[in-house]
Amino acid sequence: MQHNVLILDFGSQYTQLIARRVRELNIFCEIFPYNNPPKDLDSYKAVILSGSPFSVRAADAPHPDLSEIRGKKPLLAVCYGAQYLAHFSGGEVAPSNIREYGRANLSYIKENELFLEGVSTGSQVWMSHSDTIKALPTNAIRLASTKDVENAAYKIEGETTYAIQFHPEVYHSTDGKQMLENFLVKIAEVPQNFTPNAFVEEIVAEMKEKIGNDKVVLGLSGGVDSTVAAVLLNKAIGDNLYCIFVNNGLLRKNEFQSVLDQYKDMGLNVKGVDASQRFYDALSGLDDPEAKRKAIGNAFIEVFDDEAHLLTDVKYLGQGTIYPDVIESVSATGGPSATIKSHHNVGGLPDFMKLKIVEPLRMLFKDEVRRVGATLGIDPELLGRHPFPGPGLAIRILGDITPEKVAILQEVDAIFINGLKEHGLYDKVWQAGAILLPVNSVGVMGDERTYEKVVALRAVESTDGMTADWVHLPYEFLMKTSNEIINKVKGVNRVVYDISSKPPATIEWE
């Protein structure tokens, strides 16, 4: 994946959105923390500096070393990046007299390459900052203004360096994607060659070279990510790939057998392992979300270690890790962004397990994984499956885990998901599921008082899981589903619907 774009992360909540917009232009990009950039910059044809929650005037403000970038590679500085260049290069940054947050419109544009195509006066942009650029840096010329922000964009003469105070990556900057295209394609001349076909060719060649004749054991889950990872690895190493599908006792209703049947005709070597009790034992007495995730991750590792020992000369553990997993687990590859949660398939293996990790999808977002899967000829119905968390129903049962609670949630989930399919709603939803809450509520059934469980239904729409909005499911459907759950699932007497978006909420409750 040559001709990369490097994004230096200063901790902005929008950094991942920059990457998404760049990828949508069929240009490969990577996020690195500002204080730990890649040592070899030769393959990067352009660099983007992200925003940040910090002020450039603060003593602990991020201070990157741009000596090998500025003036040597095309550079686009966004928000904090624009203020950073101004503050440390002869300009002035000061607290803003007004709150510069939200929608704004470009009131002035100087004719230039960044706004040459598809951007005009009146274009809506998104501001999110408390400081403002009072004076431009040395040798800079103003390119754009809004009513309240005089220095909304500038260019440094003698360099291919551009800076914008607003966020082109967010939805509310209506011409933001066009600005990124103008910078990356027209100015930096980055080839738009990051396509599913190109990715398959390159990753298969890379896996062949890395793995050689060694064997790989891979855990299948029945989901999109592990399936595409398996087919890619199978394409690279063939019969040297050994797939294992583990029943952790936390799957959806009847999922263990249906997934095994699903892979039967795909040419994959799959073995089913029922380790339900092992996972229940590992989870016994745990109610903290992180403790549950880690216990499940450790149990998975132990199961795979046992299975790997039944094979000879296995050197690698294959995983379906994708880019959002990595970003959320390790704060954008070690940068200043806040860690949201740990993922059971991210972070390496313990010393006792001698397998090395191979992750063919590690740099892809979910929608990119689906496009790669389509290129590989995987069944569209399988590719259209909703994401399902690696820890399974354990993180949809708030509190401690018991087989009885799992059985209740499996029944509730089956009614909800099957209902979505029967009413033609499944493909209109990105992810859906049910959550068993650690509260009981009073109810009345057959003139008798009940004190039973509450379940929450969750359905969101998204493209990559980084942001999501709740789906406006028809009231008639929700009413029918609620009635069916309460009437058919013993132990549940109340159903609620989650109408939270991400952010501020996450898609899963734990």
Q: What is the pLDDT of residues 286-344, one digit of tens each?
A: 999 999 999 998 998 888 788 878 888 888 989 888 887 776 554 433 444 444 344 44
pLDDT tens-digit readout, 19-35: 989 999 999 999 998 98
Tell me what pLDDT residue 327 has: 67
Residue 300 tokens read as: 């998975």
Name the amino acid, one letter, at 102: G
pLDDT tens-digit readout, 366-396: 889 999 999 999 988 888 889 888 899 999 9
For 348, the 3-state DSSP assignment is coil
Q: Diameter of the chain by CA atoms?
A: 82
Lowest mean pLDDT among 79-88, 304-313, 456-465: 304-313
Looking at the predicted structure, is the pLDDT value of residue 347 above 50?
Answer: no
Tell me what pLDDT residue 331 has: 47
CA 321, chain centre distance (Å): 10
Q: Percent of the chain at pLDDT above 90?
A: 62
Q: Edge-to-edge strands of the sheet including 241-247?
A: 270-274, 241-247, 215-220, 314-318, 356-358
Sequential DSSP letters for 300-319: HHHHHHHHHHTSSSEEEEE-
Name residues whose C-beta falls within 8 Å of residue 479's C-beta, 6 or more positions apart in sequence: none
Looking at the predicted structure, is the pLDDT value of residue 472 above 60?
Answer: yes
Looking at the predicted structure, is the pLDDT value of residue 37 above 50?
Answer: yes
Residue 456 and residue 437 in contact, taking contact as beta carbons nearer than 8 Å: yes
DSSP H/E element including 153: strand 153-156
Tell me what pLDDT residue 167 has: 92
d(CA 461, CA 459): 7
Looking at the predicted structure, is the pLDDT value of residue 264 above 80?
Answer: no
Of the two residues 146 and 327, the one the predictor is more confident about is: 146
Task: Tokens 């490097």: give the residue.
Answer: 6
Mean pLDDT within 233-251 = 93
Question: Half-sphere exposure (CA, 13 Å, Cβ side) for 271?
Answer: 14
Residue 249 and residue 277 in contact, taking contact as beta carbons nearer than 8 Å: yes
Mean pLDDT within 398-427 = 97
Question: Residue 494: which of 434, 440, 447 has the closest Cα?
Answer: 440
What are the backbone angles phi and psi of residue 82, rounded to the nearest 5°? -65, -40
pLDDT tens-digit readout, 213-241: 999 999 888 889 999 999 999 999 999 99
Q: Catalytic residue, from 129, 167, 343, 344: name it.
A: 167
Q: Catalytic residue, from 29, 100, 129, 169: name it.
A: 169
Q: Catalytic residue, from 3, 29, 79, 411: name it.
A: 79
169 a catalytic residue: yes
Q: How far apart are the first and last CA of the chain?
A: 35
d(CA 94, CA 114): 26
Looking at the predicted structure, is the pLDDT value of residue 446 above 90?
Answer: no
Q: What is the mean pLDDT of the chain?
A: 89
Of the two residues 500 and 328, the one the predictor is more confident about is: 500
d(CA 428, CA 419): 13
What are the backbone angles phi and psi of residue 234, rounded to the nearest 5°? -65, -35
Question: Residue 12: which of 338, 464, 340 has the closest Cα?
Answer: 338
pTM score, whole prediction: 0.76
d(CA 339, CA 270): 34
